[in-house]
Amino acid sequence: MLSNIGNSLLFLNVIISLLIIYYSYNCLKISNNLIFKKIYNLSLFQSTSILICFFTLISAFLISDFSLINVYQNSHSLKPVFYKISGTWGNHEGSLLLWVIILTIFSFLFLISNNKHPKDYRLYTLIIQNLLILGFLFFILFNSNPFGIVNPVPKEGLGLNPILQDPALAIHPPLLYVGFVGSSIYFSAAMASMISNYNDKPFAKSIKSWVLISWVFQTLGILVGSIWAYYELGWGGFWFWDPVENASLLPWFAMTALLHSLLVLEKRKALYFWTIILCLLTFTLSVTGTFLVRSGILNSVHTFANDPTRGIYILIFLSIMISASVYLLFTKYKPEKSHVSANSKETFVLINNWFMMFYLLTVLLGTLYPIFLDALLKSKISVGPPFYNSVIIPVVVVFLVFMAVGPQAKWIKNRFINLKQLLAILVGAIIINFAIIYFFKSYSVISNLIIISSLFLIISSLFDFLKKSETNLSRILSHLSFGFLIFFIGLNHNFSIEKDFNLKLGETKIIDNYKFVLKDLELYNQSNYKTIIGKLQVRNVITNEERILKPEIRIYENPQTLTYEASILTNFFKDHYLTMSNIDRSEYYNIKFQEKPLMIWIWISTIALSFGGFLSLFRNAKNN
């Protein structure tokens, strides 16, 4: 029953998309600036029907309808309701349906919210967006149907992967998908802009809010995923350059560059085609990330199951999308006549963009190189933190300085009348860094440069805030938050402590300044798993500071899985982080203990960075 409803709604959406394309094309032939009312109605009906389709799938998970193979493979009747719902998008088929929902809703909202812009531009955007919707609908219907049935109907489901049964990971995909898929609307708008010759400041104003929305949600999605990996996977850090992490970061770099390019396009009517390229690149990278995750060619803890047919479809779809956009870009390209002074705010924005492209290409190379090496030479390697740290960190030092100096520059022609202030800020940053060295005994040259440059950005942003003439609070908050983010990352990296050892019940071990005692082990039955909880006493023998940490070993039945849950004690100064795993056929447990300074401030800085984007979004809406 639910299978028939879901499939009928999917086919209905195919028909609606075709009708929207047909009526939009006919409406383009009419010379006035009015859009047919039936196009608005169809677009509303399209959004409503795809939402009903998604709620149909949620209903199947809630009632444990195991006649649907998607429910059978990703749910269980005893699973908590919250995870039944999140299981809807915690798999390949359901997540693709969520993709189509976001594509459709953004299409409708763009249509109704941009009524001040020309009809041709809006209709071409709608046509291209619906071509994307059709592409993903066909993918769902013929390759990844969430409403496929299994016969005979199983009595019980296989259950959801236990590491996905987590509140943070339940909200991580929707946040990330709004960022990923939200970029589709300005991809479509960029194509429409070239076709309809609608450019410069009006075009920038039409897409700026959409870029901000996707950037904010992408940032929050990355943050939530990072927090989940920190406490769920036992890695004990905020970022590990995992290939799937990288896939989410690549569009973020392009979005950030795009946001800065829009500033120039609004103010100076310059960098139009650079803005177009970034619009196309952002969504292309989003689809590329989808291909990498869903084709099975990446080795990661959070890729979807290997299915070559999925990868081939997305690769063909991606190739067509790239070919069409590149062809349109080259046929419509016209050299820009505007002159950009080498010493102006425009130049600093362009420099910012080149930094973002450098980061993007570095991460892309580090992600794809092992894949090509495996395909060509059958040689398996992994590119991890040493590569990224050695290539990116030195460049970040220079980037932070430009971030601090750029906002001080003037449009068109700049004069650094505040050079003395910048030098004073630099001296202040160096003095603070030396104080950190003195108190914490850190002598790494590159880490000191990171701390100095981040402090330079922080103090410069604070000076901007104190200026009465400065009104761009969103920009100040974003730059200040980014400065603090890098500052806390630098301190966290420098002063983290890690200990790895084996311990049995009742045993005491002293390592450096720490005394560890495994005091107890307790077994509990929870609703959908059993858990062994350890009780470890951790004491700093110098400060006499004592902590009780309780790591878990969880045993799930559906599916049969063993997970290791970290015990984390957090305060404003540091995290104590501990995981425990049993050594097979012995009475010993492997203990991994970490002391992570200022960890919470990394999360707070990222939240503040996102809030800066929200402020910019409200500011932009108010100005429009």
The confidence score (pLDDT) of residue 297 equals: 62
The confidence score (pLDDT) of residue 191 equals: 95
Split at pLDDT 50, 70, 90, the class of 291 is: confident
The confidence score (pLDDT) of residue 306 equals: 53
Q: How far is CA 299 from the centre of its chain?
A: 19
The confidence score (pLDDT) of residue 261 equals: 92
**Do the Cβ atoms of 555 and 547 come closer than 8 Å?**
no
CA distances to 60, 84, 87, 154, 241 from 146, in Å = 10, 15, 12, 17, 31
Q: What is the mean pLDDT of residues 170-174?
A: 87
Q: Which residue has the higher pLDDT, 472 or 59?
A: 59
Write the CB contacts of 556 (distance below 8 Å, at least 6 apart in sequence).
Answer: 159, 162, 528, 529, 562, 563
The confidence score (pLDDT) of residue 152 equals: 87
Split at pLDDT 50, 70, 90, the class of 413 is: low
The confidence score (pLDDT) of residue 396 equals: 93
Split at pLDDT 50, 70, 90, the class of 308 is: low
Q: What's the mean per-residue pLDDT of the chain? A: 86
Q: CA-CA distance, 363 to 570, in Å (whole number)?
A: 31
pLDDT at 305 over 60: no
Q: What is the mean pLDDT of residues 64-86?
A: 87
pTM, whole model, 2 decimals? Answer: 0.91
| Length of the chain in terms of residues written | 624
The confidence score (pLDDT) of residue 123 equals: 96
Q: CA-CA distance, 461 to 454, in Å (whole number)?
A: 11
Q: CA-CA distance, 111 to 40, in Å (whole number)?
A: 8
Split at pLDDT 50, 70, 90, the class of 441 is: low
Element (H, E) at 99: helix 92-113
Split at pLDDT 50, 70, 90, the class of 24 is: very high
Q: CA-CA distance, 124 to 97, in Å (whole number)?
A: 24
The confidence score (pLDDT) of residue 404 equals: 87
Q: What is the mean pLDDT of residues 191-220?
A: 93
Which structure tokens are listed for 205?
Answer: 């104003």
The confidence score (pLDDT) of residue 276 equals: 94
3-state secondary structure of 236: coil
pLDDT at 178 over 90: yes
The confidence score (pLDDT) of residue 288 equals: 86
Give the tens place of pLDDT for each residue, 604-619.
999 999 999 999 988 8
Which structure tokens are listed for 558?
Answer: 């559906």
The confidence score (pLDDT) of residue 375 equals: 66
Q: What is the mean pLDDT of residues 289-317?
A: 67
Q: What is the mean pLDDT of residues 92-121?
A: 93
The confidence score (pLDDT) of residue 293 equals: 75
**Do the Cβ atoms of 325 and 256 come closer than 8 Å?**
no
Q: CA-CA distance, 405 to 419, in Å (whole number)?
A: 10
Q: CA-CA distance, 218 to 173, in Å (whole number)?
A: 10
Q: How many percent of the chain have pLDDT more than 70?
A: 91
Split at pLDDT 50, 70, 90, the class of 331 is: confident
3-state secondary structure of 519: strand
The confidence score (pLDDT) of residue 209 equals: 93
Q: How far is CA 449 from the centre of its chain?
A: 27
Question: Hey, what's the torsion of the CAs at 288, 289, 295, 300, to 10 degrees?
Answer: 150
pLDDT at 447 over 60: yes
The confidence score (pLDDT) of residue 279 equals: 95
pLDDT at 164 over 80: no
Q: Which residue has the higher pLDDT, 461 or 414?
A: 461
CA angle 280, 284, 285 (to 5 degrees): 120
Read off the amino acid at residue 182: G
User: Could you count the other beta carbons within 10 Å of the beta carbon of residue 596?
Assistant: 23
The confidence score (pLDDT) of residue 449 equals: 86
| CA end-to-end span of the chain | 47
Q: What is the mean pLDDT of residues 282-309?
A: 69
Q: What is the mean pLDDT of residues 359-372?
A: 88
Measured on CA atoms in the order 43, 44, 47, 49, is the torsion positive or negative?
A: negative
Give the tens place of pLDDT for each residue, 224-269.
988 888 887 766 678 888 888 888 899 999 999 999 999 888 887 8
Q: Which residue has the higher pLDDT, 287 or 159?
A: 287
Q: Which residue has the higher pLDDT, 307 or 500?
A: 500
Q: Which residue has the higher pLDDT, 112 or 427?
A: 112
Q: What is the mean pLDDT of residues 45-64?
A: 94
Which structure tokens are listed for 528?
Answer: 């959908």
Q: CA-CA distance, 291 to 250, in Å (whole number)?
A: 13
Q: How many percent of the chain have pLDDT more than 90?
A: 43
Burial class (CB in 10 A: 0-12, 13-18, 19+), 329: middle
Beta bridge partners of 517: 508, 537
User: Could you count the other beta carbons within 10 Å of the beta carbon of residue 535?
Assistant: 16
User: Could you count the other beta carbons within 10 Å of the beta carbon of residue 521?
Assistant: 16
Q: What is the mean pLDDT of residues 153-173?
A: 80
pLDDT at 336 over 70: no
The confidence score (pLDDT) of residue 126 equals: 97
User: Could you count the other beta carbons within 10 Å of the beta carbon of residue 145?
Assistant: 20
Phi/psi at 407 (5° precision): -60, -20
Beta bridge partners of 574: 597
The confidence score (pLDDT) of residue 330 equals: 85
CA-nearest of 101, 156, 59 to 558 is 156
Q: Which residue has the higher pLDDT, 433 or 503?
A: 503
pLDDT at 521 over 60: yes
The confidence score (pLDDT) of residue 470 equals: 56
Q: CA-CA distance, 105 to 47, in Å (whole number)?
A: 6
The confidence score (pLDDT) of residue 137 equals: 95
Q: What is the mean pLDDT of residues 516-533?
A: 87
